Amino acid sequence: MSSNTDQETAPIAAPRNGSAGSVFRSFGSLFGGNNSDTTRPQTPQSGDGYVEFGMQNPERSGRTLGTFAGVFSPVALSMFSALVFIRVGYIVGNAGLYITLLQFLIAYGILLFTVASVCAISTNGAIEGGGVYFMISRTLGVEFGGSIGTLFFFANVVGSAMAITGCTEAIMDNFGPGGHFVSDGATLPDGDWWRFLTSSIINTCQLLVCLVGAALFAKTSVLILGTVTISLLATYISFLSLSGTNDTIPVPLQNTYYNETSSHFLPYTGLSANTLSDNLGEQYGHDYTSNNKMVDFATTFGVLFSGVTGIMAGANMSGELKNPAKSIPWGTLSAVAFTFVSYIILSFLMSCTTPGVTMRNNYLFLMPVNVWPPFTAIGILTATFSTGLSNLIGSSRILEALSKDQVFGSLLNFVLHGTWKGNPIAAVAVSWVMVECILLIGSFNIIAQINSVLFMLSYLATNLACLGIELTGAPNFRPLFKYFTWHTCLVGLLGTLIMMFVINPIYASSCIILCLILVIALHLFSPATQAAQWGSISQALMFHQVRKYLLMLDPRKDHVKFWRPQILLLVSSPRSCCPLVDFVNDLKKSGLYIIGHVKVGDFKSVEDVEENQQWWSFLDHMRVKAFTEVTLSRSIREGVQHLIRLSGIGAMKPNTIILGFYDNEAPKDFFQNGSSPYKTDDFNSGDIQNFPIRRDGDPKHFQVQEYVQILCDTLRMKKNLCLCRNFQRLDKNFIAISKHVKYIDVWPINIFNPTSGDPFDMVSLFMMQLAVIMLAKWKHLRVRIFLCETNEERTVGTFDTQAPQMEIFSKMKLQQSLKELRITADIIEIEEWSRDSDFIRHARTLKQYTGQADNALLEDDDGDETMNRSLLYMQRANQIIRDRSDQTALSFIYLAAPPKLSATDFAERSASYVELLTELTADLPPTILVHGVSTVTSTTL
C-alpha cells in the first residue's frame, strides 16, 4: 500500500546473474597455463576412461603437473630465492648462531601456521590464477580481497626487485672491480647508477622472457631447482673439506667503511671450535650496502623472512595440477621442511668455519671459499634470476586477475585489452615499470624489509580468512586438509602481525593504513556483483553475531527512554511512493525499517517467489536501509495481518505501521517522470513494466471498508498507526535549500473530538516524538505546536471573563511539558475552536456522528444533515490548518480512532470516516495522520 492503495499483481522477470563458475573460468593460471574450465562437462573420448558426466581427462584439460614438479619445486625455489647464497652469512655474522636459529624458528613457525591455512582453503575448492588474492577475495569478499590482492601485487613487484638487486650484487662481485672472474682492467664499472643500469638490463631480460616463454620457464623449474641444490651441496662440501687460512677473502670495494679502517682481506678459518664459540652470540655491525647503517634484530629478521616468502607458489599452480587437493599440502609442507633443514645446516656450517667479521663485511664470501667458485656464481645467478622472474610473472597475473574481476571498475580495462594469446602483455609491462621504480632504492636489505612486511600482510589476511570461515561454522567449509584448527589460524595471524611491527613499524603501519584505505574505497565504489557471486565471509560472520545478539535482545527488558520507531511501511507499487519510501528511511531513526507488499492470489505461480529480486533492486535504487517482505494471500486485509504479525524477528518487530491514504487521486509514476530524482529504466523489461500502478480511471482493487478494517486491525494489535497523504509533493532537495519553507507543524488536538483536556495525551506525545526525529534530519527547520483551546461548557456571554485565565494556564502547562521533554518548539495559539459558536456546534455533531461521543447519532437530525454539518466542520478545520501551512514542510495531525468493527453500520461509518479525513487533509502539505498507542517519551535520565 502506498499513497494510492492499489494492490496489483505484477509478473516479475528477474535477470539471472552469471554463475560463480563463469567467474572462476575467467582466471588464467599463474605461469601462463591453460585456462581450462574443469566444471563444464566434456564430451568423453574413446578409450580415455573418463566417461562419467562432468569429468575430464587431466591430460586433456591441461592439468599435467604432479606434486614434485607442480608444487615442491616452485615452493622450494621461491624459498631459497636470493637469501641462500648472499644473505645467510649477513644474518649469522650479525645476529649470531643462537639468534639466527631463533629467527628461523619464528619465521618458519609463522610459515607453518600460514601453510596450514593455505592448505585448508586451497583444498576446500578450486584455486585459480591470482594465488593469495583469489583465496582471500573468494573468502573475505571483494573489499578485503581487492585490497590484499593489490598489496600482494606490490609484494611480488618488490620481491622481483629484491631478487634483481641480489643478482646485480653477485654480478658486480664476480665481474666488477676486484671480481673473482675478471682480470685487471677488464671489469664492469661499479657505482650506484651503474648497478641500477645492470638491474634494469636484468629486469628487461625478465620482461622478454615473460613476453615470450613464461610457460617454458614454469616447466623448467625442476631443472633450476636441481642447479641451485647442486650449488648448495657444493657449498656444504667446501665447508667440510677446506681448512682455510687467514687473509684469503678480499673485502668488497663497496665496503668503504671496513676498507678505510682495516686491512683489505678477511680471515677464514675452516672448521674450528673457537670460530663456532665466537659466532654463538650477537655481534651487530654496520651494513655496508645501506650507507653503513647499524644492523639490529629487526633488519636481520626482515632480510631473513623476505627470502622464505614463497609458500604460495604451489597454490598458484593449482590450475596445472592433476590433483591440487593432494599436491598442494604435501608439496608445500615438504618444501618448507626441505628449505628449513637446508638453512639450518648452512647457518651451522657458516658459524663453524667463518669468523663473524668476515660474514659482516663480505656478504658473498661463499664464492672464494668454494671448492669450485663457479658453483656459487651459478647458484646465485640462477636462484636470483628465477625468483625475480617468478615474482614478475606472479605480479602480472595478479594484476590480470584484478582487472578481470573489475575490482577497480574500468580503471584496469587496459590490462584486458592488452592481452595477446592468453599472455597479459599490458600487465607484464606495468609490473616491469613498477619493478624499475623499486630498483631505484638500490639496497637489497632495505627492499627486503619492505618485501617482508608486504608478504606478512598477505599471510595475515590468509590466516584471517581461514580463521573467520572456521569460526562461522559454515557447513560448506569441508577442506580435505585436516591438520589445522582455529588455534593455528590465530597463532599465525598474531605472529605475522607482531613480526610486521618488529621488522619495521613505519612500513607495517603504512601498509595497514593503505590496506584500510583500499578496503573503504572498494566498499564504496566497487561493483556489488562480485560479492554476490563469490560470497563474502562478512555475511557469515554477521549472521553468526546477529543471531547471537538477537537472542540476547530481550523485549521484556526494553525501556521507553531507548524507544525508537521500528516501521512497517505498506506499499502497493514502488513506482508511486518513492518520496514516501525515502522519507520513512529518515523517519526510522536507525530503527527497523520494513517495506511490506501484499499480493492477492495463491502459490500456484513460481514468479511470486522470484519477485523478491526486483524488490531488492528497488532498495538498491532508492539507497534506503530497509528490508522487504512480500506476502501472498486471499485478500489485502489478510495479507496485512500476516505482515504485521510476522514481520521482523525476536525483539526486532515493527511497532509503527505506516500506510498511504485511500483517495481517488491518480498515482504518479516516479520512475518515468522526467523531473523525478528517482527516474530509472531499470524496472522496464521491454514491454513488461515491473511494479505496475493503477492508471487514472481504473477501479481500485479493494474497497474503503477493507481499508478501515486494516486500520482497526493495526490498533487492535497494539501498533502505532500513521496515514500519509500528499507525499507525492514532497521534495527533500527543495526543503533543504529553500528559505521559504521553515516549519514542521504538530496539531495535538483530536479534531473529531476537540476538548480542553491535556494536549499531551499518548497520541500527541507520539506525534511530537516523530516531529523531533525529523527535526534532526532537517536541522534548519523549527517545530510549531498549535495550541487549540476549546470550552464547550462556557456560554458566549461568559467567555470573555474566563478565557484569558484559561489560555494562560494552558500555555504555561504546555511550555512546562515541552521543557521536561527537552523539546524546543514554538507554541501557536488557535482560537477558532473556542470562539466560533457555529464551529463548536458542528464539532458536537461530528463527535456524535462518528461515535466519538458517548451517545449515538443525534435523534433530531437525519444522517445526511449530520454528515453535511460534519463535512462543513472538517472543511473549516482544513481551512484553519491550510491558512497556517504556507511555510510548512510537513504536518503531523491527530488521527482519531476509526469506527469500531462491531458497529452495525460499520460500512457506512467507514466511508464517512475516510471522507471526513479526505476533507481534513485536502490541499495540505505532506501530512501524516498519527494515532499512537504506546508510550514513546521519557523525562528521566
Q: How many alpha carbons lie under 13 Å from residue 694 in its C-beta half-sphere?
A: 23
Phi-psi category of residue 5: left, alpha or beta, with phi > 0 → left and psi -120 to 50 → alpha: alpha
Using an 8 Å Cβ cutoff, are 930 and 764 in contact?
no
Decide if pLDDT at 11 tops 50.
no
568 and 527 both lie in a single domain: no
pLDDT digits (tens, 9 = 90+) for 596-633: 999 888 776 545 556 778 888 899 899 999 999 998 88
pLDDT of residue 610: 60
CATH number at 400 reads 1.20.1740.10
pLDDT of residue 566: 92
pLDDT digits (tens, 9 = 90+) for 764-793: 889 988 999 898 888 889 999 888 766 544
- Residue at which a domain ends, from 531, 550, 577: 531
pLDDT digits (tens, 9 = 90+) for 787-815: 876 654 443 333 343 444 444 546 777 78
Mean pLDDT of 737-750: 89
pLDDT of residue 32: 36
Question: Which residue has better confidence, 723 or 264?
Answer: 723
Residue found under cell 638490463: 201
> DSSP character for 790?
-
Q: Which residues contact 901 (CB under 8 A, 6 or more apart)?
A: 709, 712
Mean pLDDT of 740-752: 89
523 and 576 both lie in a single domain: no
> Does residue 547 sit within a domain?
no
> Does residue 554 sit within a domain?
no
d(CA 589, CA 401): 41
State whether residue 36 is helix, strand or coil: coil
Using an 8 Å Cβ cutoff, are 536 and 635 in contact?
no
> Does residue 494 sit within a domain?
yes
**What is the percentage of the chain residues whose pLDDT exceeds 70?**
79
- Quickly count: other Cβ atoms within 10 Å of residue 827's Cβ: 13
State whether residue 474 is helix, strand or coil: coil
pLDDT digits (tens, 9 = 90+) for 343-380: 999 999 999 999 998 898 888 888 888 888 888 888 88
> Does residue 464 sit within a domain?
yes
> Does residue 130 sit within a domain?
yes
pLDDT of residue 53: 33
Confidence label for 637 from pLDDT (cuts 50, 70 and 90): very high
Number of domains composing the chain: 2
pLDDT of residue 847: 59
3-state SS track over 499-560:
HHHHHCHHHHHHHHHHHHHHHHHHHHHCCCHHHHHHCCHHHHHHHHHHHHHHHHCCHHHCCH
d(CA 319, CA 412): 23
- Residue at which a domain ends, from 531, 549, 568: 531
pLDDT of residue 335: 92
Residue found under cell 525508537: 564
d(CA 653, CA 629): 13
Q: Which amino acid is at 770?
A: L
pLDDT digits (tens, 9 = 90+) for 118-170: 888 877 766 665 566 776 777 667 777 777 788 888 888 998 998 898 888 88
Q: Give the orientation angle of helix 373-404 with respect to helix 142-175, to 10 degrees.
A: 160
Strands (E), 193-292: 249-250, 265-266, 286-287
278 and 322 both lie in a single domain: yes
> Does residue 893 sit within a domain?
yes
d(CA 636, CA 668): 22
| Rg of the chain in Å (alpha carbons) | 39
Phi, psi for 888 (deg, rounded to 5): -100, 130
pLDDT of residue 571: 92
Decide if pLDDT at 96 tops 90.
yes
CATH number at 668 reads 3.40.50
Question: Which residue has better confidence, 898 or 835?
Answer: 898
Question: H or E element: which one contains 737?
Answer: helix 732-737
Using an 8 Å Cβ cutoff, are 198 and 172 in contact?
yes
Task: Please name every residue paired with 894 in a beta bridge, in sequence order, or none if there are none.
Answer: 930
89 and 129 both lie in a single domain: yes
396 and 278 both lie in a single domain: yes
Across 18-32, 101-115, 363-377, 468-482, least confident range: 18-32
Using an 8 Å Cβ cutoff, are 438 and 158 in contact?
yes
Confidence label for 547 from pLDDT (cuts 50, 70 and 90): confident
Instruction: Name the nearest CA neighbour of 131 among 341, 370, 359, 390.
Output: 390
pLDDT of residue 568: 96
Question: H or E element: which one contains 724?
Answer: strand 720-725
pTM for this entry: 0.65
Confidence label for 385 from pLDDT (cuts 50, 70 and 90): confident
505 and 567 both lie in a single domain: no
Using an 8 Å Cβ cutoff, are 770 and 724 in contact?
no
Task: List C-alpha distances in Å: 168 to 58, 177, 190, 197, 378.
Answer: 41, 13, 10, 9, 13
CA angle 124, 130, 134 (to 5 degrees): 40
269 and 371 both lie in a single domain: yes
Using an 8 Å Cβ cutoff, are 460 and 493 in contact?
yes
pLDDT of residue 899: 87
- Residue at which a domain ends, from 512, 531, 550: 531
Question: Which residue has better confidence, 543 or 756?
Answer: 543
Instruction: Name the nearest CA neighbour of 81 among 154, 167, 153.
Output: 167
634 and 729 both lie in a single domain: yes
Decide if pLDDT at 325 tops 80.
no
Class of residue 13 by CB neighbours under 10 A (exposed 0-12, middle 13-18, buried 19+): middle
Q: How many alpha carbons lie under 13 Å from residue 934 in its C-beta half-sphere?
A: 21
d(CA 893, CA 31): 71
450 and 399 both lie in a single domain: yes
Across 61-70, 692-701, 806-815, least confident range: 806-815
Characterize 391-429 residue by residue with b for buried, 16 or more Cβ atoms within 10 angstroms of its Cβ, and e for exposed: bbbbbbbbbbbbbbbbbbeeebeebbebbeeebbbbbbb
> Does residue 29 sit within a domain?
no
d(CA 227, CA 234): 11
pLDDT digits (tens, 9 = 90+) for 183-198: 555 567 777 888 889 8
Confidence label for 657 from pLDDT (cuts 50, 70 and 90): very high
Q: Are strands 567-570 and 656-660 parallel, antiparallel or unpaired?
A: parallel
Task: Tell me the three cell numbers of residue 781.
Answer: 527547520
d(CA 707, CA 713): 10
Using an 8 Å Cβ cutoff, are 319 and 34 in contact?
yes
Across 415-424, 566-575, 811-820, 858-867, least confident range: 858-867
Domain that holds residue 404: 67-531
pLDDT of residue 797: 36
Q: Which residues contact 312 (CB under 8 A, 6 or more apart)?
A: 118, 131, 132, 458
pLDDT of residue 483: 84
380 and 241 both lie in a single domain: yes
Q: What is the DSSP string of 274-295?
A: HHHHHTSS----EETTTTTEEP
Residue found under cell 502497493: 572
pLDDT digits (tens, 9 = 90+) for 406-452: 777 777 788 877 777 767 888 889 999 999 999 998 888 888 888 88
327 and 379 both lie in a single domain: yes
Decide if pLDDT at 861 tops 50.
no
Q: How many alpha carbons lie under 13 Å from residue 798 in its C-beta half-sphere?
A: 7
Using an 8 Å Cβ cutoff, are 402 and 154 in contact?
no
Decide if pLDDT at 711 tops 60.
yes
Across 5-9, 298-302, 684-688, 844-848, least confident range: 5-9
Decide if pLDDT at 23 tops 80.
no
> Does residue 693 sit within a domain?
no
Mean pLDDT of 7-24: 34
Mean pLDDT of 899-926: 88
d(CA 738, CA 760): 31
Using an 8 Å Cβ cutoff, are 673 and 683 in contact?
no
Q: What is the DSSP string of 841-885?
A: HHHHHHHHHTT-SSS-S-TTS-HHHHHHHHHHHHHHHHHHHHHT-
853 and 916 both lie in a single domain: yes
pLDDT digits (tens, 9 = 90+) for 658-669: 999 998 888 888
Average pLDDT, whole number, for the chain?
Answer: 79
Confidence label for 386 from pLDDT (cuts 50, 70 and 90): confident
Using an 8 Å Cβ cutoff, are 119 and 328 in contact?
yes
d(CA 445, CA 790): 88
How many residues comprise the chain? 941
Q: Which residues contact 84 (CB under 8 A, 6 or more apart)?
A: 228, 232, 307, 342, 343, 346, 379, 383
